[in-house]
Structure 1
Amino acid sequence: MLDGNLDTRAGRLNDRYRHHAAIEVLRRAVTDPDLGKVALVSSFGAESVVLLHMVSKVAPGLPVLFIDTQMLFPETLDYQREVAAKLGLTNVQVITASEAEIAAHDPDGTLHKVNPDACCDFRKTVPLERVLSGYDAWITGRKRFQNGQRAALEFFEPEPPARLRVNPLAHWRPEDVQDYMIENRLPRHPLVAKGYPSIGCAPCTSPVAPGEDPRSGRWRGQEKSECGIHFIGGRMVRGKVSA
């Protein structure tokens, strides 16, 4: 059993690794006893390949959890298979809502038009929670430069009631991401070249014009800016979808 409350453990880990590079934070996260059992959650989106490449170098057998909402771009599904094979990731787990959940909540596939929060909840948040309930911590690719709720990210943060989140790239700049991809000759998501710097489900993602915020194409025209899997502290927490 892990010792101490979440805030204490997160603070201890941030103090321990405050001056470490991203790959060293990741390397230690998969073995540090203060983290426990760890998995990486990846969308295989526009910038995901950076963290996936790092995992391939330090722990290629680490569980990589990929949520297939069944509304993703075909290019994302193809890219997921390409990257996993190229990097030698041996434990990619595809997570989906069950047929029964889809029949109950979105039988005609139009829920995203009337209640996108509920659509994200049952297609992403609830299925992910089922799997993450078996882990003590999970690794994300979030970064401070993505602004909003991410502007003050630390490497380690508490996720009540019982998990930690690890953000190895928290302090990276946009140019750091691009430089890493170039230096390591990593495959790009094909939609990036078509104007999609942030990629989610096909119905809720649009191209971004030059000068726009990279995430402005997600849920364009709505106040929504996150799918919900990163909300804590009273904001769209994981749980049962409302009827």
Structure 2
Amino acid sequence: MPLDLTALLTARAAQLNADLKGADAEVVLDTALRNAKVGDLAMVSSFGAESVVLLHLLSRVAPDTPVLFLETGMLFPETLAYQREVAETLGLTDVRVIRPDSLDLFLHDPEGDLHQRDADTCCALRKTKPLELALQAFDGWITGRKRHQTADRAEMALFEVDAGKLKINPLAHWTREDIAAHMDAHDLPRHPLVAQGFASVGCAPCTTKVAPGEDARAGRWRGRVKTECGIHFSAGRIYPGLHKGA
């Protein structure tokens, strides 16, 4: 990314963070979607354990906003059904299902066991690369990340610059209690796996239940140092050996 563009986006993010400090999440979302300087945005949603809150706010502000859903081919059947239920319930009219490149799957994961041997490459193949290609049509993207989720997210701003695009985190300051209260207040549908002990829901082979008192993301890539799939890393988006097709 050219230095002048980096500086421009960084300054824009800083100004938006200053202007919207302490603002309600719905105001942040509405401002981002209607500010011409922010550009065209898509929301990226996993339709996971807490996703319905931000999707609900979007439905009240601009339900025709593109929502990118990464269908990795390894999601729980419950997640696929939940995605359809939530989209229909909230009236979201432009959910786009994003899938990994079929040639990449054939070349690098023909047996579907890459996650056991190299979880990072599996995530790059099934999540990071497909999302990066899908985001090429947009100037920025909206996420449901929150500061309380991991140590790496503790200082997360409402507006960030990530790989030449603005990234907006309207729920950055929300707590687990805030999420639960919003779901209750608006009687939003819950992901069915949450009641079974899955506090954070990703791909089926790499997600386990969490015990009482455990961190909500303890069940993601359990037993490994890995805590992120890679779609929120600003640098190093290189996919050695992966198919270069669109």
* TM superposition score category, shorter chain reference: over 0.9
**Is the partner of 1:84 in helix, strand or coil?**
helix
2:203 paired residue number: 201
Equivalent AA in structure 2 for residue 239 of structure 1:
I
2:79 paired residue number: 76
1:85 paired residue number: 88
2:223 paired residue number: 221
Question: How far is the alpha carbon of 1:98 from its aligned partner?
Answer: 2.2
2:177 paired residue number: 175
Matched, 1:108 2:111: yes
Equivalent AA in structure 2 for residue 212 of structure 1:
E
CA deviations on 1:7-29 (whole Å, 9 max, x unpaired) are: 11110110111121001000111
2:121 paired residue number: 118
Question: How far is the alpha carbon of 1:4 from its aligned partner?
Answer: 5.5
Question: How far is the alpha carbon of 1:37 from its aligned partner?
Answer: 0.7
Question: How far is the alpha carbon of 1:79 from its aligned partner?
Answer: 0.1
CA deviations on 1:188-234 (whole Å, 9 max, x unpaired) are: 000000000100000000000000010000000000000000111x4
> Contact 1:6/1:159 (CA < 8 Å) preserved in 2?
no
**Is the partner of 2:224 in helix, strand or coil?**
coil
- Counterpart pick for 1:166 among 156, 165, 168: 168
**TM-score normalized by structure 1?**
0.95
1:62 paired residue number: 65
**TM-score normalized by structure 2?**
0.94
> Contact 1:13/1:34 (CA < 8 Å) preserved in 2?
no
Query: Aligned Cα RMSD in Å?
Result: 1.3
> Contact 1:122/1:241 (CA < 8 Å) preserved in 2?
no
> Contact 1:71/1:201 (CA < 8 Å) preserved in 2?
yes
Question: How far is the alpha carbon of 1:239 from its aligned partner?
Answer: 3.0
**Is the partner of 2:148 in helix, strand or coil?**
helix
Equivalent AA in structure 1 for residue 207 of structure 2:
T
Equivalent AA in structure 2 for residue 6 of structure 1:
L
Structure 2: gaps (5+ residues):
none
How many residue pairs match? The answer is: 238
> Contact 1:3/1:34 (CA < 8 Å) preserved in 2?
no
Question: How far is the alpha carbon of 1:148 from its aligned partner?
Answer: 1.7
Question: How far is the alpha carbon of 1:145 from its aligned partner?
Answer: 0.7
Matched, 1:48 2:47: no
Structure 1: gaps (5+ residues):
none
> How do residues 121-200 of structure 1 correspond to structure 2 at under 5 angstroms?
121-160=124-163, 162-200=164-202
Give the Cα–Cα distance (whole angstroms) in 2 for the partners of residues 66 and 130 of structure 1. Answer: 13
Matched, 1:8 2:7: no
**Is the partner of 2:220 in helix, strand or coil?**
coil
Give the Cα–Cα distance (whole angstroms) in 1 for the partners of residues 240 and 139 of structure 2. Answer: 24
Equivalent AA in structure 1 for residue 99 of structure 2:
T
Compare 221-230 and 92-101 and name the one that shifted more.
92-101
Percentage identity across paired residues of the two chains: 54
